Structure 1
Amino acid sequence: MARKPYRALAGIDAKALASFQAGIRKRYSDDQILAELRDSAERLNRSPTMREFAADPETTVHPQTVIEHFGSWNEAKRAAGLVPRRFARREELVGLLRDLGEELGRIPTAKDLDERRGSMPSKSLYWHTFGSLSSALREAGFDVPVGEERLERAVEQGVALARKLKRLPKFADWADARRDNDGLLTEWQVYRMFDARRGAWSTFQFLIREQLGEDGVEVGSDGRLV
């Protein structure tokens, strides 16, 4: 049985309500709302979620007001030049890479993305959407050799193994891990990426350490994660 509407609601004049709501929306212009979104992103150093925006003590606009003006939270962020953190469209991600490459005058790297966390999507979002950053770069029109993608994949796998071991993986560690996870490149595939020359594995460990450092993980001189 349907519940009867409250008397207070049933007695509302629809035209008067619509006029009132329109007046409320007019308290903020689109430009004012977009400015608040950009300012909040600058304070947070990332594109804000609705919850983060509402919790920002310096914002004066409620997230629902933002949605009423632009139709959705993500459309408002797009209008503000911010990247939706989880629901960016594929073409948006590609376009942002092209713009970044034009700004830099070269092919963007994972480090470039990390340094622009407030305005660029994370490298993990590119990895999740395209399979790798190299694949995303190729789709954006950059000439990225296939070997670069394999090395990128090896370093990502090396970082994951280092986190698990709490230290940089040795050649034997990789062989052991490969027996339990055939999704890993083989230790010899990794070794040959560096032309199997002397110091090849330590060069690989260096790249893993550099990536861990970019992720905020410190590695001691003994190779252990701090």
Structure 2
Amino acid sequence: MARPRRRHPAVAGIDEAALAEFRAGIRRRYTDEQILEQLRASAERLGRSPTMREFAADSEADVHPQTVIEHFGTWNAAKRAAGLTPRRFISREELLEQLQRLGEELGRTPTARDLDANRRRVASKSLIWHTFGSLSAALREAGFDVPIGDEKLERAVAQGAVLARQLGRLPRMADWKTARRDDRSMLSEWQVYRLVDIDVGPWAAFQFLVRERLREEGVTVNPDGSL
């Protein structure tokens, strides 16, 4: 199991209230009207309503697209306020950029829950699924490490062996749920449960696989599951 991400001491020591005040000050660098003027000017240079990528690539625009979103909530809301017609369709590349940007902010692979929590800044799950076939496929194309099939189970077994060493026994579903709160890279306990393709006692079957892995590593596992 991966260790929780450790922050640099300088980052960990930032005062949250001071940071919030700083961010508010940064946002005040531009008025809403100044941002709208830049959007209109960019559209005039391009000859069409700009996408986020096109606006970011416009050398004459000195506002970052994320600043636009912070002021207006969404990219399309800003374009409407500027009198520009939002494009009805978002490109595949823009969807991937949104996922990559969200992953950078979170410091991990985004989940479906993250998409719901950031609906004002990220496309809907349904649009992503319609475009890529699944969220996992979209995340893989965006460059995230998203295991599939047997690879998922192999990773879960390896994580289960690490967790068992920490607990001193084979992990129960409740143990897994608790561990995942600190390590979001882990599958949920129900995802692990469904990975084990057996009709009766899937979690016990998973514990068996973890036991076999531990034995391969030279660890003695007692009949009651203790190490």
TM-score (norm 2): 0.38
Larger RCO, structure (CA 8 Å, separation 6 or more): 2
Normalised TM-score (structure 1) = 0.38
